[in-house]
Amino acid sequence: MKVKNICCLGAGYVGGPTMSVIALKCPEIKVTVVDLNEARIAAWNEEDLDKLPVYEPGLAEVVSEARGRNLFFSTEVDAAIDAADMIFIAVNTPTKTYGEGKGMAADLKFVELCARQIARIAKNDKIIVEKSTLPVRTAQTLQTILDSTGNGVHFEVLSNPEFLAEGTAIEDLFNADRVLIGGKQTEKGKAAIQSLVDVYAHWLSPKQILTTNVWSSELSKLTANAFLAQRISSINALSALCEATEADVDEVANAIGTDSRIGPKFLKSSVGFGGSCFQKDILNLVYLCRHFNLPEVANYWEQVIILNDYQKRRFAKSIITSLFNTVSDKKITFLGWAFKKDTNDTRESAAISVADHLIEDGAEIHVYDPKVSEAKVKQDMQYIWELNGVSEARIQSKLKQIVVYTNPMEAMHQAHAIAVLTEWDEFKTYDWATIYTNMYKPAFVFDGRNILDVPTLTKIGFEVKSIGKG
């Protein structure tokens, strides 16, 4: 079947950019992205492209070309489902915060709601595409729900996990290492796979499009994220040993990364990985392994998360220790709040847990991030404190220990220490000599991303602590 009308449920960091690119590359296909969140849809429809809900380099240009032509953002979910011949499910699948599997399993309630809504609305056959990251075997659950109405409509479920990284989403979508499509190996299953292959073939070569059975596709997504995160935890584990032995973690990473079997990517030691997916997906993998009675496998992957938590704690502790064992009433400036550069996304950002540690020790945290607002920073902290059962009164008093700026120089004025939490390029080009003049002495810099020029800063007079350097 030639796809003419696509609907995507979920207009978030995945649904928005992926559908914008599909619409751009396939002008003859009508693409409608729907969401229950009215404010988000309104933001996608903003005239002023700076107000799109997702910041991604290149995204505004894509939206501006396709929107209104064959790309539409709407809250009319039922109408879009009814009209579509292919429906992507790109809703959130966060870690469960309640009940069975709390803190480990993926919460599939949003996905299940989508399936029920599709089953209720659909009057003709449809291809359903899992775009959200899901535990292996979810397609079976979806199929059962979709078929439960017994109204004779045929649903073919495909798995098509998304591998884009935030900050480079458009580049990743334009030139994907691969797209992965899993489907049933039946005649109808193969035809559905071909329909989706034809969509991507508008701009990707056959070599870039992999097809597998459904279960391999679902499991490959969790596996890819687990392998990527494992490399970061591996190099971060070694960063602690480097600090104890005067080895330099960047030199070690370079030395091992030039071995073509290891490769150079994802070996950048840091304050710890963040983002909405690595932790969530590994916890989900660990939960699945325990469910299938594979405790050794579960424990193996869980260590990636344990190490990441250790790295964030270690960074916060090193700030406290260096500042003479107390940060009480001291001004510590965070450069960066987003979980990586070139995004406004702060989910699971290392900055949040480092701030939590330091605030508990009495510090005042002064934050500057080029893309993150004061409201977002405070909302992030409030969320984790509520999750950890901190009383409302205590939350209100802790929130007073956070100040957010739109001007970096003001954020650093009269600070006791600066901590780099995100690797934004602009931090490298600041006038560090002036910053030094305006700080309390000794003036400390904790570079959680190893992006600053240490010899220059040291020459100015800063006490610089990097990750994984003796």
- Using the contact rule CB under 6 A, the part of the chain among 95-103, 164-172, 190-198, 308-316 near ligand UGA is 164-172
Which of 20, 32, 70, 93 is in the footprint of ligand NAD by CB under 6 A?
Answer: 93
Residue 279 and residue 426 in contact, taking contact as beta carbons nearer than 8 Å = no
- Using the contact rule CB under 6 A, the part of the chain among 105-113, 158-166, 369-377, 461-469 near ligand UGA is 158-166
Residue 277 annotated as catalytic: yes
Residues 347-376 as x/- pattern, contact with ligand NAD by CB under 6 A:
------------------------------
Residues 230-249 as x/- pattern, contact with ligand UGA by CB under 6 A:
--x-----------------
Q: Which of 168, 237, 220, 221 is nearest to 17 (CA)?
A: 168
Residue 56 and residue 50 in contact, taking contact as beta carbons nearer than 8 Å = no
> For residues 338 and 464, which CB has a smaller minimum distance to ligand NAD in the complex?
338
Which of 3, 7, 9, 60 is in the footprint of ligand NAD by CB under 6 A?
Answer: 9
Helix (H) or strand (E) holding 7: strand 5-9
Is residue 305 a contact point for ligand UGA (CB under 6 A)? no
Residues 223-242 that bind ligand NAD (CB under 6 A): none
Which of 6, 22, 77, 319 is in the footprint of ligand NAD by CB under 6 A?
Answer: 77
Alpha helices by DSSP H, 168-213: 169-174, 187-200
Strand, helix or coil for residue 44: helix
- Answer yes or no: is 192 a known binding residue: no
Strand, helix or coil for residue 312: helix
Strand, helix or coil for residue 148: coil
Is residue 107 a contact point for ligand NAD (CB under 6 A)? no
Strand, helix or coil for residue 59: helix
**Phi and psi at residue 128, to the nearest 5°:** -105, 125
Is residue 90 a contact point for ligand NAD (CB under 6 A)? yes
Strand, helix or coil for residue 441: coil
Residue 70 and residue 27 in contact, taking contact as beta carbons nearer than 8 Å = yes
Is residue 165 a contact point for ligand UGA (CB under 6 A)? yes
Is residue 340 a contact point for ligand UGA (CB under 6 A)? yes
Q: Of all residues in this chain, which one has the CB nearest to ligand NAD in the complex?
A: 12
Which of 6, 15, 315, 363 is in the footprint of ligand NAD by CB under 6 A?
Answer: 15
Is residue 90 a contact point for ligand UGA (CB under 6 A)? no
* Residues 233, 238, 242, 245, CA torsion sign: positive
Residues 270-289 as x/- pattern, contact with ligand UGA by CB under 6 A:
x--xxx-xx-----------
Tell me the C-alpha distance between 366 and 408, whole Å: 10
Helix (H) or strand (E) holding 343: none
> For residues 66 and 282, which CB has a smaller minimum distance to ligand NAD in the complex?
282
Strand, helix or coil for residue 284: helix
CB 466 to ligand NAD: min, Å: 28
The identity of residue 465, as a single letter, is K
Is residue 276 a contact point for ligand NAD (CB under 6 A)? yes
228 binds, among ligand UGA, ligand NAD, none (CB under 5 to 8 A by kind): ligand UGA
Q: Which of 54, 4, 12 is nearest to 33 (CA)?
A: 12
Give every CB contact of residue 54 below 8 A, 6+ residues apart in sequence: 12, 13, 16, 17, 344, 345
Is residue 164 a contact point for ligand UGA (CB under 6 A)? yes
Tell me the C-alpha distance between 81 and 78, whole Å: 5
Q: Taking phi first (over 0 means left), then psi (-120 to 50 degrees means alpha), and beta for anything else, what does residue 229 get?
A: alpha
User: Which residue bears the tokens 């949003």?
Assistant: 110
Beta strands per DSSP E along 49-125? 71-74, 86-89
CB 282 to ligand NAD: min, Å: 12
Which of 339, 368, 432, 462 is in the footprint of ligand UGA by CB under 6 A?
Answer: 339
Helix (H) or strand (E) holding 89: strand 86-89
Residues β-bridged to residue 403: 366
- Answer yes or no: is 308 a known binding residue: no
Q: Which residues contact ligand NAD by CB under 6 A?
A: 9-15, 34-37, 40, 77, 90-93, 110, 113-114, 132-133, 162, 164, 166, 276-277
Indicate the annotated binding residues: 10-15, 35, 40, 91-95, 132-133, 162-166, 221-225, 261, 268-274, 277-280, 339-340, 347, 449
Q: Which residues are annotated as a binding site for NAD(+)?
A: 10-15, 35, 40, 91-95, 132-133, 166, 277-280, 347
Point out which residues bind ligand UGA (CB under 6 A): 133, 162-166, 225, 228, 232, 266-268, 270, 273-275, 277-278, 339-340
Query: Which residues are catalytically annotated?
Result: 277
